[in-house]
Amino acid sequence: MVKFLNLAKLYEEVREDVLPEILEVLDKTQYVLGDKVAAFEKDFAEYCQTEQCVGVSNGTAALHVAMQSCGIGPGDEVITTPMSFMATTSSILMCGATPVYVDIDPKTWNLDPAGIEKAITPKTKAILPVHLYGQMANMESICRIAQKHNLLVIEDAAQAHGATWKGRKAGSWGDMACFSFYPGKNLGAFGEAGGIVSCNELLAARARSLRDWGQEGKYNHVLPGGNARMEGIQGAVLGVKLKHLERWTARRRDIAAMYLNELSGVSRIVLPTVAPEANPVWHIFAVQTEDRLTLQEELKDKGIDASIHYPQAIHELGCYKDLPFAQVSMPVSEHHARHELSLPMCPMLTDEEVMIVVRRLKA
């Protein structure tokens, strides 16, 4: 059996180091925020080449709190990609703002900067690109357009811990950037967690307040916030796991290189294109193929776990498709959603397992 993701093996690698850290949190009864969260915030901000990190309860909360910090609300438009997990759009709606979609680049599958300027209106407040599958969007072009039109940039970096564009890390390009530490992400907690990074002191201070009922000192509610605090245990786990991230990412890159190399001649499989400026962290290894459900079934019969990210573009989702903002045609995203298949990708995969997948696909 070649697993898509092996959480048990990842746990084994850190168990010995994590357990005493968790015990320390419990012994100090620092169940919410506390020393371990603060220490992780400092380390993760540095890892992302940013000044500040605000630990929150999950990646969706990170997006919501970041947009709130930027003052995004009813009447505002946020330009984003329809090819992502639903959370990218749902967080815009949670702020009362309206998502405006720009289609993806047919090669990198990330938000295509060429379509952004046409989508800008007097209501546009921000651009929310996603670094899909761990490859950064073209942040140079996106930030240039944002600057020209006086727009904010918020990165959805939930799949891109440590990815770079021209050597600069995901999270360090936008006004704010949002990470998920869901267990299956490249850096995963033992439960729910997320983080916001920023080099803007004012925005980071707002996020810090907004995650904790908008307080500045106990019961002094200066912002209309909610509860999006990170748990102490998750801070302790993430602090330990961050030390392993570069090694795990290197392994993902080795696996991706094997797939790219071994599958390059296989007709009927479209491999991902890496922009020359990008160094992806391969959260997901996505390919396109005509009859992906048959292929997925055939792989499953041989014990190989392939997955789909995502079966529909966001504007096509049942809960959104009848709403005004979803009345758009996004042909590149829609085509991708019909043909995408995600091959097993996890730092714990052995070379032999990767070759099992490769041989099955070749056959």
Interaction of residue 209 with ligand PLP, rule CB under 6 A: no
Q: How many CB atoms lie within 10 A of CB 51?
A: 14
Which of 30, 50, 52, 60 is the binder for ligand PLP (CB under 6 A)?
A: 60
Which of 14, 22, 94, 182 is the binder for ligand PLP (CB under 6 A)?
A: 182
Measure Cα distances from 200 to 69, 191, 205, 206 in Å.
11, 28, 9, 10
Binding to ligand PLP (CB under 6 A): which residues in 226-265? none
With 0-12 / 13-18 / 19 or more C-beta atoms within 10 angstroms meaning exposed / middle / buried, residue 267 is: exposed
Stretch that binds ligand PLP, among 38-46, 134-142, 154-162, 272-280 (CB under 6 A): 154-162
C-alpha dihedral (272, 276, 277, 282), degrees to nearest 10 = 30
Q: Return the CA Rg of the chain.
A: 20
Residue 14 host element (H or E) = helix 7-27
Check: CB of residue 87 under 8 Å from CB of residue 316. Answer: no
Check: CB of residue 158 under 8 Å from CB of residue 180. Answer: yes
Amino acid at 168: R
User: Which residues face 80 on adjacent strands?
Assistant: 101, 128
What lies within 8 Å, CB to CB, of 326 at 6+ separation is 314, 315, 316, 317, 320
Which of 70, 72, 104, 130 is the binder for ligand PLP (CB under 6 A)?
A: 130
Instruction: Give the number of residues in contact with ligand PLP, rule: CB under 6 A.
Output: 14
Which of 34, 37, 54, 59 is the binder for ligand PLP (CB under 6 A)?
A: 59
Stretch that binds ligand PLP, among 10-18, 30-38, 155-163, 221-229 (CB under 6 A): 155-163
Interaction of residue 175 with ligand PLP, rule CB under 6 A: no
Q: How far is the CB of 86 from ligand PLP (least distance, A)?
A: 8
CB nearer to ligand PLP: pick between 156 and 212 = 156
Stretch that binds ligand PLP, among 55-63, 111-119, 144-152, 316-324 (CB under 6 A): 55-63
Cα distance between the two ends of the chain: 18
Stretch that binds ligand PLP, among 24-32, 80-88, 244-252, 285-293 (CB under 6 A): 80-88
Check: CB of residue 109 under 8 Å from CB of residue 272. Answer: yes
Stretch that binds ligand PLP, among 23-31, 85-93, 287-295, 349-357 (CB under 6 A): 85-93
Interaction of residue 4 with ligand PLP, rule CB under 6 A: no
Interaction of residue 285 with ligand PLP, rule CB under 6 A: no
Interaction of residue 194 with ligand PLP, rule CB under 6 A: yes
Which of 30, 52, 58, 279 is the binder for ligand PLP (CB under 6 A)?
A: 58
Examine residue 259 and say whether the peptide bond preceding it is cis (omega within 30 degrees of 0).
no
Q: How far is the CB of 132 from ligand PLP (least distance, A)?
A: 7
Check: CB of residue 207 under 8 Å from CB of residue 228. Answer: no
Pairing of strands 77-80, 124-128: parallel
Interaction of residue 81 with ligand PLP, rule CB under 6 A: no
Q: Which residue is nearest to ligand PLP (CB)?
A: 59
Interaction of residue 159 with ligand PLP, rule CB under 6 A: yes
Interaction of residue 158 with ligand PLP, rule CB under 6 A: yes
Q: Which two tokens mark 355?
A: 């070759």
Binding site for ligand PLP (CB under 6 A): 58-60, 84-85, 87-88, 130, 156, 158-159, 180, 182, 194
